[in-house]
Amino acid sequence: MEDGLRPHAAGSAASPAPDPSAVDWTLVVHTGRVDGRETLHYSLTTRERALEDLGSVSLKLDLQDFLEGFLRDLARLPPLDADSRADVVSSMGTQLAEIVLPRRLRRRLRQQPPATTAQILSDETSIPWELLRIDSEGGDVYLGEAFAVARWRRGAATHLHLPLQRPALVVAGASDLPAIGEEGAALEGLLAESGRTVERLAPTYRQLTGALASGRFDAWHVAGHGAAAGGDPDRWSIQLEDAELTPRQLYGKAKTFARQRPPLVFLNCCHSGRGGQSLSGIGGWAERFLELGAGAFVGASWQTGDRPAKDFALAFYGHLLGGVAIAEAARRARLEVRRRYPGDPTWLAFAVYAHPAARCTPPPAARRPDEAEDRSPPPADPGALDAEEDAAPGGGRPGAGEGAGRGRLAVGLLAALAVVLALAWASRSGDEPPVGGDPGPATIEPPAPAPPPAQDPPAPGEAATSPGMPPAVELQPIAAGTLGVAVVEAETLAWNGPLARALRQRLREARPQLKPILLPAALRPAAGALRDGDLALFPGGDRAPFGLERVLVVYETHGPHAGARARFPTTSITCEAILLAARTPEVVSDRRYGHLGQGRTEADALAQAFDRCVEEVLNDLP
């Protein structure tokens, strides 16, 4: 191997503890359909601002079908010189960015400093995000070049530590892929030198599926031929010696492959890193392994070159074993491969599904003796949601300075103590525990999560929520009877705190068995999507945002009644009340109401008109 891609030696010292605050910005992507067209809606969280709604795009063609041809063209570039091929790839990246990214989002991404850490939370698995090209002050750049970017599934717990103590190596050699043998030998030596016990498995169906079912490996590297034949990603395959392996075949014994630790899975095979819509939902290799419990997944989004793919893998592992976070390890590997193979787009093909700050757990000899085993955080208490909006406005995330971290930790401990005392009092009195304040003005953003103190990093394998996203949007076990309540101005989607408080109070009086909770500002971007029929934030099952069983959002529009000749102000109001069942998810009721109200002030008239709408809402509640 030439010096430019020599793997970095993994030293004996322990790797730096992963810093959850290392995510500089998070892009949340909601998918849905409006008027029969596929839509992509975007929210951006940065260190300065939480959940900024940056609009949506409506696609006239099926995105998965479009990308099939797009990536096929990318893998079959014309026989031009290296600079000309690079120009073609650049044009394709720019075109794709203009298709799938709203203009406001492209402008905001230009403002993000280079080499920062980014996370994309989405159920959309067919877009090659690393290939998207945006203009910047220093010239156009690819997302995979400018940022240490990793993807993840919305609502799923992430893992900051990747064990990588006992990796399995599968090399499905082929005569037309001479670099595969070199990749297997070099990787075997690299892992062994770092203190890992590597086991090479025969590339046969029974050997591979049996080893997956055993659950004894905490890392998997598979190198070979991959194919994406047909439109169903669950039928895309990896060629073994005696058969083809597909994601569909992992629904059997392989469900136990992560029973000990969340493994790292690297499929160095063509088309392994992207997915798409299958008969039962999102399909493909990445989606299937993440469902089975993988802590990270790496794969190629299109057909790659043999030697560039080998060199990317070795450079990636070299950086990862040397203590570099997984997203930055992939970014550095991309840049090294681009320098080595100018004009070849393979350097942009590899997608990483992981927490961007996840790092490789040091070998046992290098690990601190006091490091704890895996721990799972308890679910958040949905009864504390009302208190979230009492936080001071601003929504920005502080730096990871020691003073700020300890100060926020103290506040968090006091808040947790208050919740425990309230719950204890409620259990004695039989009443609902007291809750905090209500949503304030629409400009108030939810507070950012406090970074953990530097002296107490998460334990190896510990699950963590995505720090780029406020913790309130994480899926939690559904609590029976809980009903999320919000009143939203129909045009601006601004939270109307006074009317929401009034609605919650009436619900408590009319339906004592309900536990109405004011929805925090973290759900603002989802309010418009819910009205358009996009329920992607509520995946169904026994977990939902905030642990809510049902969600009631009332969209209101009001104004002076021009035809009224009354002494007092008169206000007309139109409400659309949407009731959602989170378990399914499905819209249970969607009704519109219109009323007039009169009062000494416009606020009194509005309250009267809204009160009449609430009466009808209560009558329609099942």
78 vs 17 pLDDT, higher one: 78
The verdict on residue 465 lying in a domain is no
**Residue-wise DSSP of 144-161:** HHHSEEEEE-TTPPEESE
Task: State the Cα–Cα distance between residues 279 and 609, nearest whole angstrom.
Answer: 47
pLDDT digits (tens, 9 = 90+) for 160-205: 889 899 999 999 876 678 899 899 999 999 998 988 989 999 999 9
User: 55 and 165: one domain?
Assistant: no
Query: Do 320 and 235 share a structural domain?
Result: yes
- DSSP annotation of 203: S
Neighbours of 63 (CB within 10 A): 19
- Residue that finishes a domain, picked among 129, 152, 175: 152
- Report the amino acid identity of residue 534: D
Q: Which helix (H) or strand (E) holds 419?
A: helix 402-429
Instruction: Give the count of domains, the chain.
Output: 3
**How does 128-146 read in b/e, with b if 16+ C-beta sit within 10 Å?**
bbbbbbbeeeeeebbbbbb
pLDDT exceeds cutoff 90 at 233: no
What pLDDT is stored for residue 412 in this prediction?
44
Who wins on pLDDT, 309 or 391? Answer: 309
Q: Provide the β-strand partners of residue 159.
A: 463
- Give tens-digit pLDDT for 263-304: 999 999 988 877 766 655 677 888 889 888 899 999 999 989
Backbone angles phi, psi at 243, to 5 degrees: -170, 175
- Based on the fold, state whether residues 138 and 209 are members of the same structural domain: no
**Which helix or strand (DSSP H or E) is residue 326 part of?**
helix 326-340
pLDDT category of residue 252 using cuts at 50, 70 and 90: confident
236-239-242-244 Cα dihedral, nearest 10 degrees: 0
Which of 306, 219, 214, 227 shows the shortest CA–CA distance to 261?
219
Structure tokens at 620: 């329609």
Instruction: Note whether 216 and 317 are same-domain residues.
Output: yes
28 close to 469: Cβ distance less than 8 angstroms: yes
Least confident of 207-221, 322-336, 489-503: 489-503
pLDDT at 370: 43
pLDDT of 350: 96
Q: In what order do the strands lie in the sheet with 244-245?
A: 226-227, 237-239, 244-245
What is the model's pLDDT at position 295? 92
Q: Is residue 126 located within the same domain as residue 37? A: yes
- Who wins on pLDDT, 622 or 8? 622
Answer whether 389's CB lies under 8 Å from 521's CB.
Answer: yes
For the residues 301-327, what does the mean pLDDT come to? 94
* Range in 391-395, 476-480, 546-550 with the lowest mean pLDDT: 391-395
DSSP run (H or E) holding 282 = strand 281-283
In a domain, 273, yes or no: yes
Residue 129 belongs to some domain of the structure: yes
Q: Is the pLDDT of residue 440 over 50?
A: no
Q: DSSP code of 250?
A: G
> Does residue 240 share a domain with residue 140?
no
Name which of 22, 7, 17, 19 is nearest 367 in CA terms. 17
Residue 120 lies in a domain: yes
Q: Are residues 142 and 164 in the same domain?
A: no
pLDDT on residue 430? 38
- Find which of 75-89, 315-329, 437-451 is predicted with most confidence, using mean pLDDT: 315-329
Task: Say whether both 479 and 588 belong to one domain.
Answer: yes
Q: Which amino acid, residue 580?
A: L
CA distance 337 to 342: 8
Does residue 539 come out as left (phi exceeding 0), alpha (psi in the -120 to 50 range) or beta? alpha
Contacts of residue 396, defined as CB under 8 A and 6 or more positions apart, other chains included, come to 47, 48, 49, 50, 445, 448
- Strand 158-159 and strand 463-464: the pairing is antiparallel
The last residue of a domain, from among 128, 152, 176: 152
Q: Over 90: is that where the pLDDT of 601 sits?
A: no
506 and 580 together in one domain: yes
Residue 322: inside a domain, yes or no? yes
Q: Which domain holds residue 501?
A: 474-622
Asked whether the CA dihedral 244, 250, 252, 253 is positive or negative, the reply is positive
Distance CA 347, CA 325 (A): 18
Q: CA-to-CA distance for 315 and 323, rounded, in angstroms?
A: 13
Q: Do 326 and 210 belong to one domain? A: yes
Helix (H, G, I), strand (E, B) or coil at 568: coil
Confidence check: pLDDT of 346 > 90: yes
Domain of residue 229, CATH code? 3.40.50.1460
Q: Say whether both 140 and 163 belong to one domain.
A: no
User: Would you say residue 467 lies in a domain?
Assistant: no
In what helix (H) or strand (E) does residue 91 lie, and over which residues does it extend? helix 82-100
| Domain limit, last residue, from 117, 152, 187 | 152
Q: pLDDT class for 405, splitting at 50, 70, 90?
A: very low
DSSP codes, 99-116: HHS-HHHHHHHHTSPTT-
Query: Does residue 451 form part of some domain?
Result: no
What token pair was written down for 299? 């794969």
Q: Are 158 and 466 in contact (CB under 8 A)?
A: yes
- Read off the pLDDT of each residue in 73-98 and give the average, rounded to a whole number: 91
Question: Are 208 and 191 found together in one domain?
Answer: yes
Is 378 a domain residue? no
Q: What's the pTM value of the predicted model, to 2 decimals?
A: 0.60
For the beta carbon of residue 591, count every other beta carbon within 10 angstroms: 14
d(CA 245, CA 12): 37
Across the chain, mean pLDDT equals: 76
The domain spanning residue 483 has which CATH number? 3.30.160
Question: Residue 103 corresponds to which tokens in the numbers above?
Answer: 């203009």
